[in-house]
Amino acid sequence: MRALRKWLAAQNLKGKRVLNLFSYTGTLGLAAEVAGAKEVWNVDISSGALATAAKFHVLDKSKHRFIKADIFDWLKNLPPKEMFDLIVVDPPQMTSQTAQIPVALKAYRQLYSLSLKHLSAKGMIVGACCTSRISRAKFKETVCPILMPPLQLLKSLEPEDDHPVGFPEGDYLKIMVFGY
C-alpha cells in the first residue's frame, strides 16, 4: 500500500473531489489531500477506524468527510449527482476460502459497477484487491470488463521490493489504476 500512497501523493489532485471507499484509517485520503484534493470523502463501516483517520490522518479537517456505512448499500443510495474525480476502491480481504471466490468476484463486479456511476469526466478509479485466493490475472479479468471501456488501464502497481512474492498467495495485493 506504500506504493499506492506514494503514487497518490504525487498526483495533481488540486481542486479535485476524492471518494475513498473502505478508507479504514484514512492514509489514502491523507495522500489525496497532500496531492491537493479539495474534498475527500472517507467511507468505512468501522467507526473506530474513521475516528483514527480523523485524529491522525488529516491535515485540514475542512477537506474531509467521514461516513460510517456499509459501502455496498451506501453506493446504491448515493445520489447520481455526486461525482468524484478520483475513486479509490480498496476493500478488505473478501474471503480466505477457495469455495467463496465466486461470491467475492461478484462483490468486486458490483463495487466497480456502482463506483463507475459516480466517476466524473476525465476521472480515475484505483482498484485494489487484497484477497490472496484471487490471482492478479483473475482480478484483472473480473474488473477490466466493467471499467473498460469507457476507461483505460493506466497503471498496475507491482509488489514492492521489500515484499518478494515466492508463492501465489504471497501476491495478495493487486492495484490497478483506470482512467479516461
- Express each pLDDT in 93-105 by its tens digit: 888 888 999 999 9
- Domain limits, the chain: 2-179
> Which segments in the chain show pLDDT lower than 50?
none
Please report the pLDDT score of residue 24 as a whole number: 94
Q: The pTM is what?
A: 0.91
Fold of 2-179: Rossmann fold (3.40.50)
CB neighbourhood size of 40 (10 A): 29
User: Which pLDDT score, from 0 to 100, does residue 4 have?
Assistant: 81
Q: Which residue has the cell 476460502?
A: 97
Relative to beta strand 152-157, strand 174-179 is antiparallel
What pLDDT, on a 0 to 100 scale, did the predictor assign at position 121?
A: 95
The pLDDT value recorded for residue 93 is 87
Q: What pLDDT was estimated at residue 131?
A: 84
Q: DSSP secondary structure string, 5-39?
A: HHHHHTS--TT-EEEEET-TT-HHHHHHHHTT-SE
* 100 φψ region: left (φ > 0), alpha (ψ -120 to 50), beta (else): alpha
